[in-house]
Structures are given as C-alpha cells and as structure tokens.
Structure 1
Amino acid sequence: MTRRLFSPHGSALVEIAPGMLIAHMHGDWNAEMRALIAAQMKAQVPTLNAAGPWGIINHMHDTLVYGPDIYAQTRADYANRPAGSRLQAVAFVIAPHVEGASLLRSRFESLLDGVIASRVFADSQSAKEWIKAQLQLPDASGLNPGN
C-alpha cells in the first residue's frame, strides 16, 4: 500500500439517483482528496453499468481553484474508463458565486473535449435535465441502441 504524502484536503459526498452519480465537492482539493473521491465514485460503477447508461454530475460548491494535477487526472480518468463503461455524459455544476468561476469555468467547459459529452451548468436542475436527455441518445459503445 502506498503511503500518502499529505492528508486529503476538501470533502465530497457521493449520491446515487436513477441513471446518475452525483458528487458534491467542497473545499480546495489536493491530489489525495481527488484520489479518495475517485475511488468512491468507481465503487458505484458496477451497479450503475448494470442498470443501463448513466451520467455523472460533479457539483462544485465552493471553489474551482485546484492545482493543475487535479485537472489533468480528472481528464485522464474519464479518458481511460473501461471499455464496458456505460457512462455517457458528465455535467459540472458551477454557480456564479463559486470561487474562481469567472476565470476557471472555461477550463471545465473544455476539460473533457474529445473524451465524453460534457457541459457546465449554473444550477443542479439544468444539469440533471441535460444528463437525462443524454441518456436517451444512442450509446457510443453500442450498448444502448436508442429508444
């Protein structure tokens, strides 16, 4: 087992809704916190995949000010998801009051370009509606041939 250099900074809460994994993220994260939440999210993947296509909502509650490694690892994790993954879309919720929103929102708007369908929203309800709409589209993996 690898020993962590630092304790995780920040916090997160993962919740499951029909066809969705929602991660509520608080505080300024370090790499250790990012690894911790990624493991919690990955633990839910088999159940979500078994139920059909699904999406993720990453709800940023406090800040977007992270080190560059957080952004790089986030993109890499989505790019390297298993071939059988039924993850179809990723939404980010970034309200205007979130620290760094005016400067860093654009980073999230392009973070997953060429990797998976993604969008940024100012509110949770819009993100949920978009994810639901994405789940109705044909799955690029061929596992969801459409309705």
Structure 2
Amino acid sequence: MQHHDGNAVAGSEVQMTFRPHGSADIEVHGQILIARIVGPWNIELIRHYQTLMKDHLPTLSAGGPWALIIEIHGAAICPPDALAQIKAGAVAHATQSRRVCTSYVIAPDVEGHHVMDRVWREIYAGLIPFEIFETRAAAMAWSAEQLARHQDQARGAPAS
C-alpha cells in the first residue's frame, strides 16, 4: 500500500526511502580501487557506492590481491545503519573477494575526523589490515606495500 507521501506502508510500519546524502565516485589504479566519498552520508549513499564498486570487483579479483582506499571529504559522519552496511561490505570483500587491505584518507579539516577514527578502526579490526592517513600519497604507498607483501607470500617468499 502507498501512503499519500509516496512511502510504502507495511502493516503498521512506514518504510521510508531517501535520496543518497553526499556523493561518491570510483577510480582504479592497477590493483588499488579508490572511492572518493563526500559526506555526511546516509545508508543510501553507501549502497550507491557499493553498487559503483561492484562493476570493478571481477577485474580486480581476477588480477590478484587488491586494496581499497576510501578518501573522505566534507564530513566523516554517518548514521549507525550506514556503518552496519560498511561493515557488511568489508566482511564480504574480505571473505569473498581478494581485498587484502583498506585505508582511509581523512584530512584534519574533515568534520568528525577524530570522532570517527575509533569507529573506522573497530569496523576493520581482526578482519584485514587497516590504516588512516591524511594524504592519498601516504595511503597509496601503504596499500602498495600491503599488495607487495601478499604477492610475495603467494610466491612463497617469507613475510617481512
């Protein structure tokens, strides 16, 4: 049943749909996928960003281990349902694709930088290597090191 405002009504619950808040775009550099996210954002933006990523996953996974860099601009703040969606995506990639690390680029002027730092680290703890950097160059260098380490392990070289 449709409510007069366009929202679907399921029993006594109203299921509201929202437009994505913020914006997202994707670029790929070799085995590194970079997602540029402008926040604050909501779960709809996270779903949109994950849909954009899906187009690149088969090629990245076929190419071997790959890394994700999430570059956050504007604000690093999002609601709990968006955080749950981010965690679900991280778990899926760590177990079902060949993603071996994730880093975030969050400049000091990004709103919520220090508030969300602990939250981001908790999402990836025990899952895959994770780090936060202030510049893309630092995140790229760290990601390249992580990829090289995984390629060395695949060739049977001792891990450093």
Q: Is the pair's TM-score, using the shorter chain for normalization, greater than 0.5?
A: yes
1:72 alignment partner in structure 2: 84
Unaligned runs of 5+ in 2: 1-7, 9-15
Q: Distance in 1 between matches of 2:123 and 2:96?
A: 22
Asked whether the 8 Å contact 1:138–1:146 carries over to 2, the reply is no
In our comparison, the structure showing a higher alpha carbon Rg is 2
In structure 1, the partner of 2:29 is: 17
CA distance in 2, matches of 1:106, 1:83: 23
In the other structure, the counterpart of 1:92 is 104
Displacement after TM superposition at 1:111 (Å): 2.0
**2:17 paired residue number:** 5
**Alignment partner, residue 130 of structure 2:** 118
Q: Distance in 2 between matches of 1:103 and 1:84?
A: 30
- Do structure 1's residue 134 and structure 2's residue 146 form an aligned pair? yes
* TM-score, length basis structure 2: 0.81
Distance 1:83 1:108, change over 3 A: closer
Aligned amino acid, residue 65 of structure 2? P
Percent identity for Structure 1 against Structure 2: 33
Q: What residue number does 2:12 align with?
A: none
In 1, Cα distance between the equivalents of 2:51 and 2:149? 28
Contact (CA 8 Å) 1:60, 1:92: kept in 2 or not?
A: yes
Q: Which has the higher contact order (CA 8 A, sep 6+)?
A: 1
**2:52 is aligned with 1:40:** yes
Q: Residue 108 and residue 84 in structure 1: after superposition, are their counterparts in 2 closer, same or farther (change >3 A)?
A: closer
Deviations 1:78-122 (A, max 9, x none): 112374511111001111100011222222223210111111111
Letter in structure 2 aligned against 1:86? R
List, as ranges, runs of 4+ consecutive aligned residues in structure 1 with deviation greater than 6 Å: none
TM-score, L = length of structure 1:
0.88
